[in-house]
Structure 1
């Protein structure tokens, strides 16, 4: 099994490189960054769906069996992502909503309802999944006697990193909300001026 893991990771890396090369040929009029982001978006969607299937359908249930031996499907999923991480060493590794946000910016559509929807769901999902569900998973891992101490320590560190990102996300959400509010106030003031047609209101 151990001898085949490097081979699986190498095959995964080759697959991601091939996908990147195909995207570069398919979107010649776009930058290489565009193709790299497409690979990242593809991995984000694939890894999220595969992880959800492994964790909540195929099993074992992560909240009651932390530290159990890896299944064959789990090993395949890990090798798939390991190959991608080797490909993506030079980029920021994020999730599908962040990739969608980048594409909207690239196409000039970020400052629209679509951009607001993507940002809203990113904040909600990050808070609910990374902070909420993450806390539950960390508790189950710490309470279980099966995981080794360094696995538990790694889980705590990863959760702490999520909170660092959460603080930044809250600041971003506050700035964007205040900017939208001030723009709305300014627009409303202009509309009131137009309604009075330049005449003073009677008191």
Structure 2
């Protein structure tokens, strides 16, 4: 594949990085009164939405098999890799400049850059990348919409609660359930190289770490409601009192 020449690949990734950086600068010009985080999240919302739609269309999730995961890479797969590489490079740089993200997010972005670079050097990782990208980004639009709603003061509304609930449920289902299925398919297959299996395990561990953080968030935010619900059940004899 001629696009895989080092100079061409580097140039394409640089163009992609400049595209996302320019888009951020455009947001800065069009919305000068907004914070850097607002502009960054607007860019992230675009990437997450498009990455999910295109990733799912290239994944073929309805008939997913180890052989399909290892199908020969297409020009569309490669274009998606280049497009996303530029975004993750931009967002990692933004996080390092403003230092407003934890180490898990930084590790996630750095791992994404390494994984995409690895996939771009293979001839048969197109479907695997598309599925992985869709899996990682499918809940991202909801996360950004949730942030914008909170930023505009709508965090006490029904729509905010619905968006947050959908985000939490979809995150657990996508990364916890479907992610486990994908990693199982990859690890049991003899088609994938050791480095690909290693990167898949890395992303799975990162996903589990995010799930752990989500459970902590839910317990912290809804502790009072959980206690009220437990009390409701306990009053009806569904739960035993600690004194028994």
TM bucket by the smaller chain? 0.7 to 0.9
TM-score by length of 1: 0.80
Question: Are positions 1:166 and 2:242 aligned together?
Answer: no
* Residue 155 of structure 1: aligned partner: 200
Aligned length: 183
Report the Cα offset of residue 182 of structure 1: 6.9
Gap runs ≥5 in structure 1: 185-203
Question: Are positions 1:85 and 2:88 aligned together?
Answer: yes
Question: Are positions 1:35 and 2:35 aligned together?
Answer: no
Taking a change above 3 Å as real, the CA distance of residues 62 and 99 of structure 1, as seen in their structure-2 partners, is farther
Cα distance between partner residues in 2 of 1:80 and 1:63: 25
Cα distance between partner residues in 1 of 2:227 and 2:181: 38
Cα distance between partner residues in 2 of 1:103 and 1:54: 29
Verify the 8 A CA contact 1:55 1:62 in the aligned structure 2: no
* Residue 48 of structure 1: aligned partner: 52
Which digits, 9 at most, give the CA deviation of each residue in 1:121-177, with x for residues without a partner?
A: 111111111111111111111111110112112212211221121121112122323
Match of 1:17 among 17, 21, 26: 21
Report the Cα offset of residue 87 of structure 1: 0.9
Verify the 8 A CA contact 1:142 1:152 in the aligned structure 2: yes
TM-score by length of 2: 0.68
Cα distance between partner residues in 1 of 2:217 and 2:64: 35
Larger Rg: 1
* Residue 74 of structure 2: aligned partner: 71
Which digits, 9 at most, give the CA deviation of each residue in 1:64-117, with x for residues without a partner?
A: 423333221111001000011111113356722221222122111123222211
